[in-house]
Amino acid sequence: MSVEPVTTRDHEARTRVQLQLTKTEIEEISEMLLYEELSRARIRDLEEGVRAQRARGSARAVRRWSRVARWAAQRAERYQDQS
């Protein structure tokens, strides 16, 4: 008894069944792909919004820390003058 090695490709070629899709099934698949593309577009929009918000937040943080540093420098200078 001999056994021939069978690759996945060979197995699929032997067992492949021709799929006959009805018009309704094709429409359902198209609708599903449309919803999938819409959800991807929403995700891209959300990611762009988050990036923009981070950029604004970063600029705001820079301004805030600059004010804190200026305040600290003025305070340190004032206390050095008193000594």
Report the alpha-carbon distance of residue 83 to residue 80 in Å, rounded.
Answer: 5
Polymer length in residues for the chain: 83
pLDDT for the residue numbered 17: 54
Residue 76 phi, psi (nearest 5): -65, -40
pLDDT for the residue numbered 39: 93
pLDDT for the residue numbered 18: 54
Report the alpha-carbon distance of residue 55 to residue 63 in Å, rounded.
Answer: 13
Each residue's pLDDT tens digit, 40-58: 999 999 999 999 988 888 8
pLDDT for the residue numbered 83: 64
Using alpha carbons, list the distances in angstroms from residue 73 to 27, 50, 59, 64: 69, 34, 21, 14
> 8-46 burial by CB neighbour count: b if 16+ within 10 A, else e?
eeeeeeeeeeeeeeeeeeeeeeeeeeeeeeeeeeeeeee
Q: What is the pLDDT along the chain (83 residues), one digit of tens a residue?
A: 566 777 777 767 776 655 677 888 888 888 888 999 999 999 999 999 999 988 888 888 999 999 999 999 999 998 887 76
Two tokens, residue 13: 């070629």
